[in-house]
Structure 1
Amino acid sequence: MCGRFATTLPPDAMAQLFEAAPANDLPPVPNYNVCPTNQIHTIHTEAGARRLTSMRWGFLPHWYKATNGGPLLINARAETIAEKPAFKAACRERRCLIPVSGFYEWTKDEEGARLPWYIQPAGEGPLVFAGVWQDWERDGEAHRTCAIVTCAANDQMAAIHHRMPVILGPEVWGKWLGEEGKGAATLMTPAPEGALRFYRVDRAVNSNRASGPELTCPIE
């Protein structure tokens, strides 16, 4: 799964990288502790053009009567996304890209304490997650919402967690966004071995109120 991440790429750099027109209400960067229900940067295709927009991280199906009207859906499992009522329409019609600098995952020590790890690309550039999105409106309150698509971990990532985000390379961004016909389902696979690197970071990130670049610094 993915429950926390960092974003440091400036919006103008995102707009250039994805050839997307940026919205005016994008969340501030850098943010080293992006949490569920935060507004995040996403890229989707609308009317034949790519848009860089802000979405609420936490997918809201249309039948939720309030933002807390059901489970918080921050991830969508690749294996069942096409069948789940919450996600199946979005999987066909509303896919997005979610650029991040890195993400956090946790293991536990012998006493059960949560030990955070920071996972980032082994090479240059951001990680780009596969996402799905949904507009939600109820009683005058409206949100554009999204979830990160996850798959079984590759062997490298399995040392930390059995799930990982679906990570997309530039060569398939257009296909995931629906710009190049069908075939998006074939992209929901683990990242190649060696595509990521990870290391332990301070337990300060266990708090969703923590902030600052030190959260991503390695510890001994």
Structure 2
Amino acid sequence: MCGRYAITLPDDAMVQLFSAAPANNLPDVPNYNVCPTTDIHVVTGDAEFGRRLVSMRWGFVPEWYKTPTDGPLLINARSETIAQKPAFRNACRTRRCLIPVSGFYEWTKDSDGTRWPWYIHADQTLALAGVWQRWGSEDNQLSSCAVVTTGANETMSQVHHRMPVVIDEADWGLWLGEQGHGAATLMKAADEELLSFHQVDRAVNSNRASGAQLIEVA
């Protein structure tokens, strides 16, 4: 799964990287401890208006929820079942998005049950596959999203059995629906050589922790 991440790229750099028009309510960056239910940066595509960099709640809210907390917190969507699950099947066809991250965290447990965090990253900003949804009335509308995950590749399996789907830059348009059909073929594990990881301080176990030291080698 993907339950915590870091984003250090400034807004204007994200705008340039994704060729996207920015909204005026983007979350603060850098943020080394992005947690579920907070607002995050999301890139959407639109045939009429082009790409936009917007703010959305991390935690997908299905249209039938009476309140945003009416059911389970859906921060991830499994690629293997996303097309069949009622919560995600429409979004995976028509409302796909990219979620920029500098890296993300996963945890392992030792024999005593202690959770040890690891920071997984690449040499460049990663664009995670996501799906999004509008919920509520026009007067009180909430946009929310989930990260698409898949089975881990051999490298990542040393830390966790699943990983977020990473979309290559050449495929951003396909995932966003700008280049016709075929997005389903992108829901696979990243190449082995893309990601690196190192252990970090257990301070990040707290969702209130902050600061660049969270991603430093422990």
Matched with 2:174 is 175
Deviation at 1:206, TM superposition (A): 0.2
**Segments ≥4 residues shifted beyond 3 Å:** 138-141
Deviation at 1:142, TM superposition (A): 2.2
Which amino acid counterpart does residue 72 of structure 2 have in structure 1? P
- Aligned to 2:112, the other structure's residue is in SS state coil
Alpha-carbon distance in structure 1 between the residues aligned to 2:140 and 2:172:
31
- Residue correspondence of structure 1 range 77-96 to structure 2 within 5 A: 77-96=78-97
Any stretches of 5+ residues in structure 2 without a counterpart? Answer: none
Which amino acid counterpart does residue 78 of structure 1 have in structure 2? S
Alpha-carbon distance in structure 2 between the residues aligned to 1:147 and 1:139:
22
Deviation at 1:50, TM superposition (A): 0.4
**2:215 aligned with 1:212, yes or no?**
no
Alpha carbons 1:66, 1:138 under 8 Å: kept: no
Alpha-carbon distance in structure 2 between the residues aligned to 1:18 and 1:139:
28
Alpha carbons 1:22, 1:52 under 8 Å: kept: yes
Deviation at 1:105, TM superposition (A): 0.1
- Aligned to 1:101, the other structure's residue is in SS state strand
- Aligned to 2:45, the other structure's residue is in SS state strand
Alpha-carbon distance in structure 1 between the residues aligned to 2:112 and 2:45:
47
Which amino acid counterpart does residue 104 of structure 1 have in structure 2? Y
Structure 1 pair 70–140 and aligned structure 2 pair: CA distance change class (3 A)? farther
Which amino acid counterpart does residue 86 of structure 2 have in structure 1? P
- Aligned to 1:191, the other structure's residue is in SS state coil
Identity of matched residues, %: 63
- Residue correspondence of structure 1 range 137-216 to structure 2 within 5 A: 137=136, 141-216=140-215
Deviation at 1:141, TM superposition (A): 3.5
Any stretches of 5+ residues in structure 1 without a counterpart? Answer: none
Alpha carbons 1:96, 1:177 under 8 Å: kept: yes
- Residue correspondence of structure 1 range 124-139 to structure 2 within 5 A: 125-137=124-136
Paired residues in the alignment total 217
**2:60 aligned with 1:65, yes or no?**
no
Q: TM-score, normalised by structure 1?
A: 0.97
Q: TM-score, normalised by structure 2?
A: 0.98
Alpha carbons 1:95, 1:131 under 8 Å: kept: yes
Alpha-carbon distance in structure 1 between the residues aligned to 2:208 and 2:49:
39
Q: Deviations over 1:3-22 (max 9, x none)?
A: 00000000100000110000
Deviation at 1:153, TM superposition (A): 0.2
Alpha-carbon distance in structure 2 between the residues aligned to 1:152 and 1:205:
24
Matched with 2:9 is 9
- Residue correspondence of structure 1 range 99-118 to structure 2 within 5 A: 99-118=100-119
Which amino acid counterpart does residue 90 of structure 1 have in structure 2? A
